[in-house]
Amino acid sequence: MNDNSEFDNNINVNGVDIAYQLHGDASHPTLLLIHGLSTPLNGWPSAMVELFVAEGYQVLLLDNRDVGRSSQLDHLSIPKLGWVVLQFKLGLSIKAPYQLEDMMQDAVALLDALKLSEVHVVGASMGGMIAQLMAIHYPQKVKTLTSIMSTTGYKKLPPIAKNIREALAHKPASKEHKDLMDYHVKKWQVIGSPDYPSSDIYLHEYVEGMLQRGITSKGTLRQMLAIMAAKNRQNSLAKLTTPSLVIHGDCDGLVNVAGGKATADAIPNAKLKIYPGMGHDFPVELIPNIVDDIVAHINMNLGTKT
């Protein structure tokens, strides 16, 4: 996976350092891509970024706080996980080191620093949650919303599939690079698309690029706590006027397709596109179709929101 590190920039916004990249022509409309849990900006496949640039967009990528080359917030205390899981199961409020709203504010502050008054926002998984929050709290900045393999935060939607939960419960055998590679490759294999399995070569390059950019167990845990602490967004999503597209795979075992359906049901006039055989990743074979869906969504809604 090409890291494209020659595009790297870093800026202090909202009290944290956020690493970001800009690809394409600055005079073109900007597409902000926000990725998910434990996934730095090069989790977006380079083929997807290149296709968006070819379609006439400037693409803005960022490392969320606690991943990649953005700030690692190790000074923040982490509550005892067993207690947090119990609170979560009982439906009690969870005290997290920071909230998804804080991550949303990081992205908004980055847009302000770059003098980007409005953008098209695409979020995947946790990034979809952050993108939804941007549309809820800063609708004037979000020209269109695309929420991919994400959910509303409604706690009674189907949980993570048992085989994935068991795989994620394991930890890397050590902090040695080989053991970290083995762990993350296995993770992407188990959450990936059953009908579109990634080749070993592709997956190893993909994971290698992300590990080189930066993934830590504590940063991942803090992001996970933010997800667990998040409130149900259904009622807020019901008030959106932002043109919205929801994309999900029907074989997603990490975030069940019911989460995508609930998101589309919550947002007025949202369009739902379900991909058969797709899991919780971007299969190489489907990238052109997904890009086409997003570009068509944007083109169809040009001029409908200012």
Has residue 66 got a pLDDT over 80? yes
Q: How far is CA 105 from the centre of its chain?
A: 15
User: How far is Cα 54 from Cα 287, in angstroms, rounded to an integer?
Assistant: 14
Cβ-based neighbours of 290, under 8 Å, separated by 6 or more: 48, 148, 247, 275, 282
Helices 217-229, 100-113: axis angle to 10 degrees equals 110
Angle CA(163)–CA(169)–CA(174) in degrees, nearest 5? Answer: 125
How far is residue 132's CA from residue 113's CA, in Å, rounded to a whole number?
A: 21
Report the CATH number of the 5-300 domain: 3.40.50.1820
| CA–CA dist 63, 111 (Å, integer) | 14
Lowest mean pLDDT, pick from 15-29, 132-146, 168-182, 270-284: 168-182
- Written as one string, the DSSP assignment of 106-145 is HHHHHHHHTT---EEEEEETHHHHHHHHHHHH-GGGEEEE
pLDDT one-digit tens code per residue, 74-101: 998 887 766 666 666 666 677 889 999 9
Residue 166 to residue 194: CA distance in whole angstroms: 18
**CA atoms within 13 A of residue 139's CA, in its CB half-sphere:** 12
| pLDDT over 50 at 1, yes or no | no
d(CA 205, CA 257): 28
Q: Name the one residue in this structure whose structure tokens are 């602490």.
A: 229
pLDDT in tens, 142-193: 999 999 999 999 988 999 999 999 988 888 999 999 999 999 999 999 999 9
Tell me the whole-structure pTM to 2 decimals: 0.94
- Residue 54 — pLDDT band, cuts 50, 70, 90? very high
As a whole number, the mean pLDDT across the chain is 94
pLDDT-based confidence at residue 7 (cuts at 50, 70, 90) = very high
Give the pLDDT of residue 70.
Answer: 98
Q: What is the pLDDT of residue 303?
A: 61
H-run or E-run covering 305: none
Interior/surface letters 19-34, b for 16+ CB within 10 angstroms, e for the rest: bbbbbbeeeebbbbbb
Question: How many angstroms separate the CA atoms of 292 and 276, rounded?
Answer: 17
Decide which of 91 and 280 is more confident.
280
- Percentage above 90 pLDDT, the chain: 85
pLDDT at 305 over 50: no
pLDDT above 50 (res 306): no
